[in-house]
Amino acid sequence: MTTVKEAQAGPAMTQAGKKKRSGVLLTGAAWIISVLFVFPVVWMIWTSFHSETDAATNPPKILSPFSTEGYSAFFGSNPWPPILNSLTASVISTVFVLCLALPAAYALSIRPVKKWSDVLFFFLSTKFMPVVAALLPVYLFAEKIKFLDNIWLLIILYTSMNLPIAVWMLRSFLSEIPDEMLEAAQVDGAGLVRTLREIIAPVIMPGIASAALICFIFSWNELLFARVLTGTRAETAPVFLTGFVTSQGLFLAQVCAASFVVSLPVLAAGFAAQDKLVQGLSMGAVR
């Protein structure tokens, strides 16, 4: 009997050892990938606290004296109007996207319309065309209606660009809602608007937060349309950031300092919504 138990315990211990080793390897690989992703950001922040001369040396001087020249140059160039423009365009377009995407996702998941798969394909097909292909027609149209250098033009463009992504994301989240919950709302006499506001929205709040964060990041980081369609009044933070790259003189420390400051709102939004973001992504990943 003892021999049989030992024979059975041997393979089990071997299998446990293999799982432990594979877990260690996966953990090590995850740490290596994380370091590879974080290292450029850390290096950018480190470089931003050096003088232009030290930042431009090759190889770079890691232990060179700290300096705030880059931040002084950035804040001395009045960055607040472009940052405010980016914040306005990103926040308002994200709100518009959520207001339009939630009813659309509801119609495509809980109360599916006819040929809903074709509708989803149409939403996805709008992302097939390269952005640069639509740049000239949009520019000519905006020039014709005297809408260039207007923050509302960017809001409309960002809303249309992010709407397909939000619809696809929210549809996967809405598919997780049990039918019994909606039937109970109908029995209580709740209409569509009340159902969306008081029943569906609180349940899929992690999904809404995930979609909102992604739309906000995409709007904040958008450069091509903002670079071509804006001037001085509607200039956004990414466009303002490109102004530090010049053909004469040194600019690496200033660019790193400006990049770090401009990325702070996105980092703050990500840290504030990280719990709901993880819940939302896991909620919509498994049906």
Return the CATH number at 244. Answer: 1.10.3720.10
Mean pLDDT of all residues in 197-207: 82
Q: Is residue 287 scored above 50 in pLDDT?
A: no
More confident residue, 21 or 165: 165
pLDDT score, position 154: 95
- Is the preceding omega at residue 59 within 30 degrees of 0, hence cis? yes
- Does residue 242 share a domain with residue 130? yes
Contact status, residue 277 vs residue 209, Cβ threshold 8 Å: yes
Q: Among the three residues 68, 97, 125, which one is the final residue of a domain in this structure? A: 68
| Average pLDDT over all residues of the chain | 82
Q: Among 259, 172, 247, 256, which residue's Cα sits nearest to residue 208?
A: 172
> Which amino acid, one-letter code, is at 188?
D
Q: Is residue 10 scored above 70 in pLDDT?
A: no
- Does residue 63 share a domain with residue 100? no
* Any domain includes 203: yes
- Does residue 114 share a domain with residue 245? yes
More confident residue, 190 or 79: 79
- Does residue 279 share a domain with residue 154? yes
Domain tally, the chain: 2
Range of the domain at 62: 21-68
Cα dihedral value 53, 59, 60, 62, nearest 10: -140
pLDDT score, position 267: 84
How far, in Å, CA of 43 to CA of 54, rounded?
A: 13
- Does residue 216 share a domain with residue 129? yes
More confident residue, 43 or 190: 43
Considering just the CA atoms, what is the radius of gyration of the chain in Å? Answer: 25
- Does residue 153 share a domain with residue 62? no
- Does residue 83 share a domain with residue 64? no
Q: Is residue 33 scored above 50 in pLDDT?
A: yes
Tell me how far the alpha carbon of residue 19 is from its chain's centroid: 35
Q: Among the three residues 68, 97, 126, which one is the final residue of a domain in this structure? A: 68
